[in-house]
Amino acid sequence: MTETLESIAEAMVAPGKGILAADESSGTIKKRFDTINLESTESNRRDYREMLFRTEEAMKNHISGVILYDETIRQKAKDGTPLVDLIKQAGSIPGIKVDAGAKAMAGFPGELVTEGLDGLRERLAEYYDLGARFAKWRAVIDIADGIPTMGCIEANAEALARYAALCQEQKIVPIVEPEVLMDGAHTADRCFEVTEATLRTVFARLAAHRVKLEGTILKPNMVVSGKKCSTQASVQEVAEKTITVFKRTVPAAVPGIVFLSGGQSDEDATAHLNAMNAIGGLPWKLSFSYGRALQAAPLKAWSGKAENVAAAQRAFLHRARMNGLAALGQWKAELEKAA
Ligand code: 13P
């Protein structure tokens, strides 16, 4: 079959499958390794990711694609096999994070704008040659007193659209990730408002930049209460509010929406996704592109020790399976306890 943007995007959201976000930057993976008292060396990062990519049952059955970091897409497993080949052998698609991080936005105190457009065309061409068939760019929208501003939302949406257009020119499917953070004390209704404004702006800019929606995947936050908010929306409320926002703002031509976990507990991330798919009747596939919600359990089980590899792989398989079921609306809380 000839590979097209549409066929790649469809494969990324194949039924019962989702994406493993393993694209932690050097700074972020160090923070993760700090939690298990492990030094962040090149070989430790390789061993950790090799362990995940060699979890065959998880990768084959539940992981449609893996987002990699620049170092990882060039790394080889201990036996010399490129990590990209491990992913492909499992029938999964390699992807790459291409943004250069969210930086303080000049003139907009407390807000961030994501950098990385300069030279992006050439970097995408190289990543394509290294095997990447999709990419990711994350914009960060924070909620606090007086923010976000429309200036911040617009600057980030414009950058996302320019990134997405360049990806498609290079035959790479863009994952468009505008993340409204859940760190604050705001209510779920405030998250709803900000998510709605953000997605409206993002899709307007994607249209202005002639981005083909059929070859685009959206990676949004869910509509949740801020972590420090005293009242927390229920699973059903999160599912209903999130779907309501998407129906207003995400065109039906988008083949799939894959959520970030953003600091939700493993089980919340699964339960929310499941509740949305249980509602059903949606024009887009709804699945996952989790980092922490897929990796927290295996990272802890591994703790940097070779003798824990099998236990860590079991933990990864379990979360991948639970989220695969949630992508079908077939997850049940009892399945967590059974494991
Ligand atoms: P989390 O699921 O840990 O939020 O990570 C997903 C991701 O790729 C953020 O850019």
Angstrom distance (rounded) from CA 39 to CA 33: 7
**Strands 285-290 and 93-97, how do they pair?**
unpaired
For residue range 315-324, list pLDDT tens digits in order.
999 999 999 9
Angstrom distance (rounded) from CA 271 to CA 153: 29
For residue range 207-230, list pLDDT tens digits in order.
999 999 999 999 999 999 999 999
Whether residue 21 has its Cβ less than 6 Å from ligand 1: yes
Taking the CA of residue 292 as reference, the ligand 1 atom at the shortest distance is: 3
pLDDT at 338 over 80: no
Whether residue 20 has its Cβ less than 6 Å from ligand 1: no
Per-residue pLDDT, 120: 99
Task: Label residues 209-241 b or e (16+ Cβ within 10 Å = b).
Answer: bebbbebbbbbbbbbbbbeebeeebeeebbbbb
Q: What is the mean pLDDT of residues 179-198?
A: 98
Whether residue 18 has its Cβ less than 6 Å from ligand 1: no
Taking the CA of residue 294 as reference, the ligand 1 atom at the shortest distance is: 2
**Span from the CA of 219 to the centroid of ligand 1 (angstroms):** 9
Mutation pick for ligand 1 pocket among 28, 156, 222, 289 (CB with most ligand atoms within 8 Å): 289
Supply the DSSP symbol for 255: -
- What is the token pair recorded at 22? 């393993």
Angstrom distance (rounded) from CA 93 to CA 17: 12
**Span from the CA of 266 to the centroid of ligand 1 (angstroms):** 12
Catalytic residue among 10, 177, 179, 196: 177
Taking the CA of residue 293 as reference, the ligand 1 atom at the shortest distance is: 2
Cα of 83 vs its chain's centroid, Å? 19
Which domains are assigned to the chain? 5-338 (3.20.20.70)
CA dihedral sign, ordered 183, 327, 16, 160? negative
Cα of 140 vs its chain's centroid, Å? 13
For residue range 33-87, list pLDDT tens digits in order.
999 999 999 999 999 999 999 999 999 999 999 999 999 999 999 999 999 999 9
For residue range 115-174, list pLDDT tens digits in order.
999 999 999 999 999 999 999 999 999 999 999 999 999 999 999 999 999 999 999 999
Mutation pick for ligand 1 pocket among 12, 260, 299, 319 (CB with most ligand atoms within 8 Å): 260
DSSP for 161-230, written as a single string? HHHHHHHHHTT-EEEEEEEE---SS--HHHHHHHHHHHHHHHHHHHHHTT--GGG-EE--------TT-S
φ and ψ of 338, to 5 deg = -55, -35
71 in catalytic set? no
Query: pTM of the prediction?
Result: 0.98
- Calculate ∠ Cα 308-311-314, nearest 5°: 150
pLDDT at 339 over 80: no
**Strands 102-104 and 112-114, how do they pair?**
antiparallel
First vs last C-alpha separation in the chain? 39
Cα of 184 vs its chain's centroid, Å? 20
Angstrom distance (rounded) from CA 192 to CA 190: 5
